[in-house]
Amino acid sequence: MKKIYSFFAVVLFCSSFLNASGKSIESIRSEKFEFKKVDISLPVEVIAEKDNNPMEEDYSYRFERLSNDLWQFQNNIVWLRNDIDKLAMDARNISHGQNIPFFQNDLRNMSYKMSQLYNDIQRISMDLKNLLTVAKKDSKLNQIASDIEMRSIDIDNKFQFDIVNSARDLELAVRSVDPKIIGYDSQLLASDIYRYSNDIQWKTRDIRWDSQKLYETTKP
């Protein structure tokens, strides 16, 4: 019985509420409910593009790397002529009867050093030729190209007028001594040193001309 009373109480409450608000159930059903669209879009931050061009930075890096490689090559040959001249003097002293026990070992080390220098100059020459294919007029690249040209000229002059002549004198000095006294390998090593010096000089001459082309090509 209590449940029945409760049910009637709820019905009476709802009826009184509808009468008070002046709306019937049918009128509520007939009403349309509209949902307004709320704009919740967030502001998008526009990131400005950088002005620098990665391709330009790559060109500058390649130019500077070549310039540094030539600078390092310059440092490696600062005392090269003096070292070769010392070997030639040792060979003459041996011909006069002086005992120099490590002469062949010094010759072997010099031959190995000349081989390394030849490999370095070959790589530098190839890098320079590759730069010529992409070179263009640019003030910054032209400044680096100017340094490349100056270093190339200095290296070529050292080999053409100093190192090649010293290497030739070394070979002549070694060949003038009896192989039984100076060592049978000494003549071959001295010949290798002279051959490497000539081969390097041919490369330095090419680098000299290519560096001049590079400078003219990049000139604004």
Torsion sign (Cα): 9, 14, 18, 23: negative
The answer to whether the CB of 100 falls within 8 A of the CB of 173 is no
Q: Note whether 87 and 170 are within 8 A (CB).
A: yes
The count of other CB atoms within 10 Å of the CB of residue 129 is 14
Looking at every residue in the chain, the average pLDDT score rounds to 84
Q: Would you state the pLDDT for residue 82?
A: 97
Record the tokens describing residue 86, joined without a space. Answer: 């010392």
pLDDT tier at 59 (50, 70, 90 boundaries)? confident
| 8: phi then psi, degrees, rounded to nearest 5 | -65, -30
Selection from 202, 78, 198, 215 nearest residue 150 by Cα: 215
Task: Give the CATH number of domain 54-218; options: 1.20.120, 3.40.50, 1.20.58, 1.10.10.
Answer: 1.20.58
Report whether 197 contacts 167 (CB < 8 A): yes
Q: Which residues contact 25 (CB under 8 A, 6 or more apart)?
A: 18
Summarize pLDDT for 72-118 with one digit per residue, the tens. 999 999 999 999 999 999 999 999 999 998 999 999 999 999 999 99
Give the Å distances, CA to CA, from 73 to 61, 79, 152, 185.
Answer: 18, 12, 10, 28
Q: What is the Rg, in whole angstroms, of the alpha carbon atoms belonging to the chain?
A: 44
Residue 53 banded pLDDT, cuts 50, 70, 90: low
Q: Where are the domains of the chain?
A: 1-31, 54-218
pLDDT tens column, 4-45? 444 444 444 445 544 544 444 444 444 444 445 545 444 444
Q: What percent of the chain has pLDDT over 90?
A: 72
The answer on pLDDT for 180 being more than 80 is: yes
Identify the DSSP state of 99: -
d(CA 195, CA 170): 12
Contact in structure between 70 and 151 (CB atoms under 8 Å): yes
Q: Which residue, 114, 96, 102, is CA-closest to 194? A: 114
Rounded to whole angstroms, the Cα distance separating 133 from 53 reads: 19
